[in-house]
């Protein structure tokens, strides 16, 4: 429960992306909801009074006139959001560069995909400084400032310097890797010092807390007492706060008439067709090609399911224009087309592939429809999709096949747990899920 005093004080949420993304179409500004775990998870907090959400609105300032910027600021102010405008060069080096080409792969245990460039780091520092200036402009001395994610690891320290009386929290949405991985980052010490500016540093799981404390000890030489680190008379607490979902939103939505109508419109699926669902951003950490190989193996091993099973693969566009992501999309599309070419009959295809954003009601209908939810990331901080499926199925039967490498696996031991690198065991898990008695599913 939040205390009364906290509820009245000023709360500033800071994340790289705002929950609203602005784009320009035919010269006009268009506003849309941002997709991804952080936006979904925080959207209910933003409804609290006296809250401002600070972040980048998703469009390069080079594309905007002064009038555009004023309009964006005014529109977003109605939603308690404050935009920070970034140039294309800043986005390339800070966002696509240090954040997504250095920290993201490293934090997900992909050191061989990691790029180290001095100019990425210089821009990371500069943009964290820009965020600090903007937050300072609106923060009172007693504000609670809640900084999110790996793109803003230097921000707690920068804010502490200028607003020492504020309360600063930091939450990491990705895994925090083991020391052996973290130590590979050239700027490891500066990143940790940045986080130590916070009063509270939160992670999804105790394993991530343990990894963080071990890096703190070995890189900065600071010890901790039960997760609390003492720094010149100040305490920095660390703990696990596994992120949740708006449970009612997902459990109730499946009962809505609009969602039921969408379900009815899926006339392709008769009672005997088994439906497997897969929903992720198209990111190499999510293990989509490996998942497809496992499904291909399942079809080889179980020809009796030909014509009776369908995999609905919802791949949501993300970080488009970055070579590795474009390459991943091509790999997925080649695999989908190979599997469909190999097994399709004139009136059936084993995979329905969507590379687009799915509206919320349709996503709810798909969760309701699915007999099996296939969540097999190679590494994932938490994974909200797994939680959403369980919530949507709360009165119904269904089976969640879940990667051991997700944060959510520590909370869902009842799921069918798999090693995402082991395609044979994923194919077997599909068989197990299909044969599982209804009462066990429930």
Binder among 384, 390, 401, 402 for ligand GDG (CB under 6 A): 384
In the complex, the smallest distance separating the C-beta of residue 215 from ligand GDG, rounded to whole angstroms, is 20
The closest residue (CB) to ligand GDG is 37
Residue 215: which residues within 8 A CB-CB, separation 6 or more?
176, 179, 182, 183, 188, 192
Q: Is residue 109 part of the contact set for ligand GDG (CB under 6 A)?
A: no
**Segment near ligand GDG (CB under 6 A); pick from 71-79, 219-227, 344-352, 358-366:** 358-366
Query: Is the alpha carbon torsion for 328, 379, 241, 142 positive or negative?
Result: negative
How far is C-alpha 226 from the chain's CA centre?
A: 29
What does the alpha-carbon distance between residue 237 and residue 81 come to, in Å, rounded to a whole number? Answer: 28
Cβ–Cβ < 8 Å for 275, 398: no
Whether 192 contacts 238, CB under 8 Å:
no
Q: How far apart are CA 239 and CA 226, in angstroms?
A: 10
- Largest separation between any pair of C-alpha atoms in the chain: 73
Reduce the DSSP state of residue 177 to 3 states and report it.
Answer: coil
Options 136, 222, 274, 357; binder of ligand GDG; rule CB under 6 A: 357
Q: Is 380 considered catalytic here? A: yes
- Catalytic-labelled residue, pool 148, 173, 204, 211: 173
User: What is the spatial distance between Cα 137 and Cα 14, in angstroms, rounded to a whole number?
Assistant: 13
Among the listed residues 266, 269, 360, 412, the single contact to ligand GDG using CB under 6 A: 360
Q: Which of 339, 372, 380, 433 binds ligand GDG (CB under 6 A)?
A: 380
The SS3 assignment for 279 reads strand
Position among 11, 41, 84, 168 found at the interface with ligand GDG (CB under 6 A): 41
Is 43 among the residues that bind ligand GDG (CB under 6 A)? no
Query: Does position 55 bind ligand GDG by CB under 6 A?
Result: no
Measured CA to CA, the distance from residue 308 to residue 303 in angstroms comes to 10
Strands (E) in 4-86, as ranges, are: 11-17, 20-25, 28-33, 51-56, 81-83
Nearest residue (CB) to ligand GDG, 236 versus 279: 279
Q: Does 214 bind ligand GDG (CB under 6 A)?
A: no
In the complex, minimum distance from the CB of residue 269 to ligand GDG, in angstroms, rounded to a whole number: 20
- Taking the least distance from each CB to ligand GDG, the nearer of 182 and 284 is 284
* 173 given a catalytic annotation: yes
Selected binder of ligand GDG within 19, 37, 57, 156 (CB under 6 A): 37
328 counts as binding ligand GDG under rule CB under 6 A: no
Token output for 420: 């995402």
Question: Which residues lie closer than 8 Å to 153 by C-beta, 6 or more apart?
Answer: 103, 128, 170, 191, 194, 195
Using the rule CB under 6 A, give the single segment among 38-46, 82-90, 137-145, 332-340 that binds ligand GDG.
Answer: 38-46
Interface map 157-176 toward ligand GDG (x if CB under 6 A): ----------------xx--
Q: Does 319 bind ligand GDG (CB under 6 A)?
A: no
Nearer to ligand GDG, 374 or 385 (CB): 385
Q: At what angle do helices 384-392 and 360-369 cross, to 10 degrees?
A: 70
Question: According to the binding rule CB under 6 A, does residue 252 interact with ligand GDG?
Answer: no
Nearest Cα to 312, choosing from 246, 259, 356?
356
Which x/- pattern over 227-246 shows residues binding ligand GDG (rule: CB under 6 A)?
----------------x---
Selected from 15, 40, 90, 99, the binder of ligand GDG by CB under 6 A is 40
Stretch that binds ligand GDG, among 31-39, 76-84, 137-145, 339-347 (CB under 6 A): 31-39
Contact between 409 and ligand GDG by CB under 6 A: the answer reads: no
Which residues are registered as beta bridge partners of 60?
86
Helices 288-301 + 423-435 axis angle, to 10:
60
Per-residue binding letters, 275-304, with ligand GDG (x by CB under 6 A): ----x-x-----------------------
Q: How far is the CB of 163 from ligand GDG (least distance, A)?
A: 26
Other CB atoms within a 10 A radius of the CB of residue 47 amount to 8
Give residue 418's Cα distance to chain centre.
20
Interacting residue with ligand GDG among 55, 381, 398, 420 (CB under 6 A): 381
Q: Which two tokens stand for residue 95?
A: 């966002």
Instruction: Identify the residue among 288, 363, 378, 391 touching ligand GDG (CB under 6 A).
Output: 363
Q: Which two tokens stand for residue 272?
A: 């005997």
What is residue 104's three-state secondary structure?
Answer: helix
Closer residue to ligand GDG in complex, CB, 37/97: 37
What is the CA angle 66-67-73, rounded to 5?
90
348 binds ligand GDG (CB under 6 A): no
Residues that bind ligand GDG (CB under 6 A): 35-38, 40-41, 173-174, 243, 279, 281, 314, 316, 357-358, 360, 363, 380-385, 388
The residues annotated as belonging to the active site are 173, 380
């Amino acid at each position: 429960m939040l205390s009364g005093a906290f509820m009245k004080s000023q709360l500033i949420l800071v994340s790289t992306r705002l929950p609203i993304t602005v784009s320009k179409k035919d010269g006009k500004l268009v506003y849309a909801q941002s997709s991804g775990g952080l936006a979904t998870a925080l959207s209910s907090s933003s409804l609290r009074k006296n809250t401002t959400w600070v972040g980048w609105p998703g469009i390069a300032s080079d594309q905007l006139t002064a009038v555009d910027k004023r309009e964006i600021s005014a529109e977003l102010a109605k939603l308690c959001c404050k935009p920070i405008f970034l140039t294309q060069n800043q986005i390339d080096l800070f966002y696509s560069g240090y954040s997504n080409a250095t920290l993201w792969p490293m934090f997900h245990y992909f050191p061989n995909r990691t790029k180290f460039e001095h100019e990425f780091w210089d821009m990371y520092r500069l943009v964290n400084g820009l965020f600090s200036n903007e937050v300072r402009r609106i923060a009172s001395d007693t504000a609670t400032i809640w900084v999110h994610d790996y793109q803003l690891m230097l921000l707690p320290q920068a804010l502490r310097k200028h607003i020492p009386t504020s309360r600063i929290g930091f939450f990491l949405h990705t895994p925090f890797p083991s020391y052996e991985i973290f130590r590979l980052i050239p700027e490891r010490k500066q990143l940790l010092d940045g986080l130590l500016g916070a009063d509270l540093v939160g992670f999804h799981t105790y394993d991530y807390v343990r990894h963080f404390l071990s890096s703190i000890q070995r890189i900065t030489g600071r010890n901790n007492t039960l997760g609390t680190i003492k720094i010149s008379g100040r305490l920095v607490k660390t703990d696990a706060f596994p992120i949740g979902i708006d449970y009612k939103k997902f459990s109730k939505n499946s009962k809505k008439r609009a969602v039921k109508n969408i379900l009815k419109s899926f006339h392709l699926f008769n009672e005997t067709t088994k439906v497997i669902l897969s929903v992720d951003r198209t990111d190499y950490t999510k293990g989509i090609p490996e998942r497809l190989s496992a499904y291909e193996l399942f079809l080889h091993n179980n020809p009796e399911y030909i014509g009776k099973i369908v995999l609905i693969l919802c791949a949501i566009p993300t970080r488009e224009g970055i070579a590795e992501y474009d390459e991943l999309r091509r790999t997925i599309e080649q695999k989908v087309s190979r599997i469909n070419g190999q097994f399709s009959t004139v009136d059936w295809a084993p995979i329905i592939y969507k590379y687009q954003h799915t509206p919320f009601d349709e996503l709810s209908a798909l969760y309701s429809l699915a007999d099996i939810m296939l969540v097999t990331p190679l590494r994932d901080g938490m994974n909200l999709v797994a939680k959403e499926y369980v919530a949507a199925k709360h009165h119904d039967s269904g089976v969640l096949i879940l990667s051991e490498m997700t944060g959510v696996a520590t909370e869902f031991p009842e799921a069918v747990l798999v090693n995402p690198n082991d395609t044979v065991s994923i194919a077997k898990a599909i068989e197990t899920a299909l044969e599982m008695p209804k009462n066990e599913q429930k």
